[in-house]
Structure 1
Amino acid sequence: MRIALYNLTTTTKIGGVESFVWDLARELAKRGHAVDILGGVGQRREAAPGVRVYTFPYISRRIWQALPPLRRAYAEAKLLERLTMAVAALPTLVRGKYQIIHLQKPYDLAPALLARRLSGARVILGCHGEDFYRGDRWLARQVDGAVSCSRFNAQTIARRYGFTPEVVFNGIDTSLFHPQPPDPTLRTRLALPPTAPLLLFVGRLQPWKGVETAIRALTQIDDAILLIAGDGEDRPRLSALAYELGLVNRVRFLGNVPRQQLPTFYASVDLLVATSHASETFGIGPVEAQACGLPVVATRFGGFPEVVADGQTGLLVPPRDPEALANAVNSLLSDPVRRAALAAAAPVWAAQFAWPAIVDRIEAVYRAVLQESAQQHA
Structure 2
Amino acid sequence: MRIGIVCPYSFDVPGGVQNHIVDLAEALIGLGHEVSVLAPADEDSPLPSYVVPAGRSVPFPYNGSVARITFGPVSTARVRRWLSRGQFDVLHVHEPFVLSLSLLAVLSARGPVVATFHTAMTRSRALAVAQGMLQLVLERITARIAVSALARKLQVEHLDGGAVEIPNGVAVAKFADAEPLPGWPGPCGPGQGGTLGFLGRFTETRKGFGVLRDAFVALAPERPGLRLLVAGPGDQADLYEGVPPELRDRITFLGRVSEEDKARMLRSVDLYVAPNIGGESFGMILTEAMAAGATVVASDLDAFRRVLDGGRAGEIFPTGDAQALRGTLARLLDDPVRRAELSACAQEVVAAFDWPTVARRVLEVYATAIEATDGRVLDEEWIGPT
Displacement of 1:324: 1.6
1 CA distance for matches of 2:334 and 2:58? 48
2 CA distance for matches of 1:175 and 1:56? 31
Equivalent runs, 1:21-100 vs 2, <5 Å: 21-42=21-42, 44-47=45-48, 52-61=50-59, 74=62, 81-84=69-72, 86-95=75-84, 96-100=86-90
CA displacement 1:234-277 (0-9 Å, x = unmatched): 7654432335x864223322111222123333333210001112
Q: Which residue of 2 aligns with 1:355?
A: 355
State whether residues 97 and 121 of structure 1, in contact with CA within 8 Å, keep that contact through their aligned partners in structure 2. Answer: no
CA displacement 1:75-127 (0-9 Å, x = unmatched): 7x9899432363342222431212322122121454123212xxx22222211
Q: Which residue of 1 aligns with 2:242?
A: 241
State whether residues 11 and 45 of structure 1, in contact with CA within 8 Å, keep that contact through their aligned partners in structure 2. Answer: no
Q: Which residue of 2 aligns with 1:268?
A: 268
1 CA distance for matches of 2:311 and 2:303? 16
State whether residues 150 and 303 of structure 2, in contact with CA within 8 Å, keep that contact through their aligned partners in structure 1. Answer: yes
In the superposition, the TM-score normalised over structure 2's length comes to: 0.82
In structure 1, which of residues 209, 215, 219 is the aligned counterpart of residue 213 of structure 2? 215
User: Using a 3 Å threshold, how does the CA distance of structure 1 residues 124 and 78 change in structure 2: closer, same or farther?
Assistant: farther
State whether residues 3 and 102 of structure 1, in contact with CA within 8 Å, keep that contact through their aligned partners in structure 2. Answer: yes
State whether residues 202 and 230 of structure 1, in contact with CA within 8 Å, keep that contact through their aligned partners in structure 2. Answer: yes
User: Using a 3 Å threshold, how does the CA distance of structure 1 residues 187 and 316 change in structure 2: closer, same or farther?
Assistant: closer
Displacement of 1:346: 2.0
User: Using a 3 Å threshold, how does the CA distance of structure 1 residues 246 and 121 change in structure 2: closer, same or farther?
Assistant: farther
> Is 1:124 aligned to residue 114 of structure 2?
yes
State whether residues 279 and 302 of structure 1, in contact with CA within 8 Å, keep that contact through their aligned partners in structure 2. Answer: no
Displacement of 1:230: 0.9
- What percent of counterpart residues are identical? 26
Q: Which amino acid aligns with 1:241?
A: G
TM-align CA RMSD: 2.8
Q: Which amino acid aligns with 2:331?
A: S
Q: Which amino acid aligns with 1:141?
A: L
User: Using a 3 Å threshold, how does the CA distance of structure 1 residues 207 and 314 change in structure 2: closer, same or farther?
Assistant: same
* Unpaired stretches in structure 2, ≥5 consecutive residues: 187-191, 377-386
2 CA distance for matches of 1:61 and 1:111? 18
2 CA distance for matches of 1:342 and 1:35? 37
Q: Which residue of 1 aligns with 2:365?
A: 365
User: Using a 3 Å threshold, how does the CA distance of structure 1 residues 236 and 365 change in structure 2: closer, same or farther?
Assistant: farther
In the superposition, the TM-score normalised over structure 1's length comes to: 0.83
Displacement of 1:158: 2.2
SS at 2:266 equivalent? helix
User: Using a 3 Å threshold, how does the CA distance of structure 1 residues 354 and 57 change in structure 2: closer, same or farther?
Assistant: same
Q: Which residue of 2 aligns with 1:250?
A: 250
Q: Which residue of 2 aligns with 1:135?
A: 130
Equivalent runs, 1:126-165 vs 2, <5 Å: 126-130=116-120, 134-135=129-130, 137-142=134-139, 143-165=141-163
1 CA distance for matches of 2:257 and 2:67? 29
* Unpaired stretches in structure 1, ≥5 consecutive residues: 63-72, 189-194
